[in-house]
Amino acid sequence: MVSARVNDMAAAAYAGWLREDATLEEMRTGFDGMCPEPAADATLTEGVVGGVRGTWVEVPESGGAGSSATILHFHAGGYLIGSPTSHRDLGARIARAAGARVFLADYRLAPEHAFPAAHEDGVAAYRGMLADGVDPASLVVSGDSAGGGLALAVLAAARDAGDPLPAAGVLMSPWADLTLSGDSMDGREAVDPLVSRAVLTEMQQGYLQGADPTDHRASPLLGNLAGLPPLLVQVGSSEVLEDDAVRIADGVLRAAGEAFLQVGYEMVHVFQMFADRLPEGAAAIDRIGAFVRARVRSAATV
C-alpha cells in the first residue's frame, strides 16, 4: 500500500509531464523541472571525467577537493530522460550526508544513443576517475533507478577488467533487470503510483532498440554478482522494482559478498529524491551518508 500522503505527493510531483501523450522532450524538461534546487551553499561546477561530461556537486561539509570521499553518480530516467539538472538536489544532499564531493555523470541518452552507449559512458567515467588520481579506497559508485542498474553494471565491468574496485556501491531503487522478470513487477503494480510494466517496457525498448535484454551490461542482476565491493541497496515497499533490489542483495550475499538491503515502508520509486518533502527520504540519505563514511574509512585502512 501507499499512504495518501505519499501518493498525493508523488502525483503532484509527476503531474503535467508523465502523460501518455507527452513527447520525449516534454518528459525531459518536466523531469528536470520537477526536482528542487539544491541548498544555496551547494557549489555546482561543470566538468569532464573520462570524456564524459557532468556536474560536480560540493557543499561546505564535503571539504572540496580534499574531501575524504568521491561519489560517481548515475541518474535515473529509464535511459531516456534525466540529467545532472534533475539530480542536483539529491547530489547535494548525498554530498552533505557523506562528506563527499559528487560527480553527476551526464551519460548519453536513448533513443539518440542506444545501448550500450550509457554503459560505455559509465565505464569511461569510472576509469576516468582512476586516471584523474582518485584513490579507489575513497571512491563510491552510486545510482538511482536506471542509474542504479548502470552503477551495478559498471562495478561488474570494473571487476571483470581487473580495474581497482571502489570502496562501495550505493543503489537506490535499482532497475537492473531489463527482462522485467521480478515478481514485484506484477505484484506491486496496483500500489505503485509512478512506475508500471508498461512504462518500463517503453523505456526498455527505447534504450535497447532490439538488443538482447539479458545482456549483462543492460541487466547486471542476471550476471555474476560475486567479487563486488560492499553494496547498500535501498528501495520502497510500494515499487514494482522492489524485487530487483531484493534479488541484488540476495545474489551478492549468496556469492559471499556484502550487501545491505533497506526497504522503506510504503515508499515509492527513488523516494530519496523527495527528501525536501518526505522525512523518510531524508532519513534514507542520512543512512547513505553513514554507509559511505564508514566504508571509505574502512577501505583506507586496509
Residues annotated as catalytic (active site), given as ranges: 145, 239, 269
104-130 burial, b for 16+ CB within 10 Å, e for fewer?
bbbbebbeeebbbbbbbbbbbbbbbbb
- DSSP structure class, residue 274: G
Q: Judge whether 144 and 270 are in contact, CB under 8 Å.
A: yes
Distance CA 86, CA 58 (A): 16
- In contact, 239 and 76? CB cutoff 8 Å: no
Taking the C-alpha atoms of residue 87 and residue 104, their distance in angstroms, rounded to an integer, is 7
Strands across the sheet with 52-58, in order? 43-49, 52-58, 100-105, 69-74, 139-144, 168-172, 231-236, 259-264
**Count of C-beta atoms within a 10 Å radius of residue 159:** 16
Q: Which residue has 564531493 as its cell numbers?
A: 101
Helix (H, G, I), strand (E, B) or coil at 132: coil
Q: What element of type H or E holds 188? A: none
